[in-house]
Amino acid sequence: MLTEINFDGIIGPSHNYAGLSHGNLAATRNRGETSHPRAAALQGIAKMRSNIALGLTQGILLPHARPNHRWLASLGTRFEDAPPHTQAQALSASPMWAANAATVSPAPDTGDGKCHLSVANLVTMPHRSHEWPETLAQLRLAFADPAFTVHGPVPAPFGDEGAANHMRLAADHGAPGVEVFVYGISGGPFPARQHPDASAAVARKHRLERVLFVQQSQEAIAAGAFHNDVVAVANGRVLFAHEHAFADKDRFYADLRAMLPEVEIVEVPAAEVNLADAIKSYLFNAQLVTLPSSEMALVLPGEARDTPSVWTWLQDHVAGNGPIRRLEVVDVRQSMANGGGPACLRLRVVCDPATVDPRFLVDGAKLDRIAAVIEAHWPEAIPYDSIGDPALIAQVEAARQALLEALDLSDLLTGNHQI
């Protein structure tokens, strides 16, 4: 039976606030602050526990090797010799944001009836551009069953940021859907990260027929919506978006209704929630999910509840006849301070759970085991000026090794995987 599985990225032991992501206002605003990797990772575990309690199926993706010594070697240096900005780029824990891992097209949408995954190249940002080889290795382990086809990245210079700029709408998870690729052309002072040619290439590789290509508004990117999932999210037949999310929303909405007549478009007016509040609160970077009861719930960061305009709008919506019937608030403040909310932390894959490598699926007991490793090995704090400390690097590397050994995934440690 086809089920939506949320694969959350476990927040790695090198989680720090180096402010590397130009255009991500939270990340740059908190540059230089002291991070708390242990608390961050445990917040992520608590979010996964909350999803399981809601009746959702939960998976994981693993922290990457940090520092990335292979990437540093390709630059002709070693971590201890690299300049501070390169050290920070090599140490980044950004793979925690699994929404950027890949674009996923479930079997009902594809020409060959397989679930297709294309790893994202993330070439726009140096600290993320070296993620894809290890992400691809994990995807090829987790989805090795013949039910899947896992693709390598779109080549540079066509920036591809994965599911953060991709939405799927369908009558239900197992029905044929409409896949929406959102790209950027200009973001004013900030880079537009999703190239239209990258989106088109992924759609071709996935053999999609019912597909829309939609431009994100320059206004949204300039306001700090560096990915579409900061201003829009979709689930089932529901599109939940800000009024200013798209460059030509009228045409997009008309095309979507023509392809999926049962679609419900829930638009938040700018007069009630402006872009600044939407982005600050990550109202749309929430997990919009279908519960076993068939009701839809919105898994929100605490910042949404703390933003009066956002919380007022949400309360009014839930009190009415809208499709979102339940609000679940989670604490992911460590991730939020680096610019990633609940939706950033997960990759959605619609498939039969029996076809997934069970090492990448979790229940309460496995989360207990993961939490114990985190509590024992993750650094409690990383001051910004300590990221080059050899003792910290040794702790970070040992922590990841302990986690992979605990999950029987040491093949990711030894490099026994094919790129």
311/283 Cα distance (integer angstroms): 9
Q: How far apart are CA 359 and CA 327, in angstroms?
A: 30
Whether the pLDDT of residue 265 is over 90: the answer is: yes
Average pLDDT over residues 66-89: 96
Q: What is the pLDDT of residues 339-359, one digit of tens each?
A: 889 999 999 999 999 999 999
At 418 the pLDDT is 41
Contact 223, 24 (CB under 8 A): no
Q: Per residue in 287-341, pLDDT tens?
A: 999 999 999 999 999 999 999 999 999 999 999 989 999 999 999 999 998 888 9
Q: What pLDDT, on a 0 to 100 scale, did the predictor assign at position 338?
A: 86
Q: What is the pTM of this model?
A: 0.95
33 as an active site residue: the answer is no
| Model pLDDT for residues 203-248, shown as the tens digit of each residue | 999 999 999 999 999 999 999 888 899 999 999 999 999 999 999 9
Is 262 considered catalytic here? no
Q: How far apart are CA 99 and CA 347, in angstroms?
A: 5
Contact 215, 206 (CB under 8 A): no
Contact 95, 117 (CB under 8 A): no
pLDDT tens for each residue of 164-198 = 999 999 999 999 999 999 999 876 777 778 999 99
Residue 419, pLDDT above cutoff 50 = no
Question: Picking from 73-82, 219-228, 388-397, which range would have the lowest pLDDT averaged per residue?
Answer: 219-228
Q: pLDDT of 52-63, one tens digit each?
A: 999 999 999 999
36 vs 44: CA distance, rounded Å: 12
Active-site residue among 64, 115, 243, 344? 344
89 three-state secondary structure: helix
pLDDT in the model for residue 417: 45
Question: Residue 316 has what DSSP assignment?
Answer: H
Of the listed 161, 243, 303, 328, which one is catalytic? 161
pLDDT band at 90 (very low <50, low <70, confident <90, very high): very high
What does each C-alpha distance from 172 to 2, 238, 250, 323 come to in angstroms?
10, 10, 24, 14
d(CA 359, CA 7): 12
Judged by DSSP in three states, 167 sits in strand
How sure is the predictor about 24, in pLDDT bands with cuts at 50, 70 and 90?
Answer: low
pLDDT > 70 fraction of the chain, expressed in percent and rounded: 96
Instruction: Give mean pLDDT, residues 270-278.
Output: 97
Confidence at residue 207, expressed as pLDDT on a 0 to 100 scale: 98
Catalytic residue, from 15, 227, 244, 317: name it.
227
Examine residue 67 and say whether the peptide bond preceding it is cis (omega within 30 degrees of 0).
yes
d(CA 30, CA 16): 10
405 is a catalytic site residue:
no
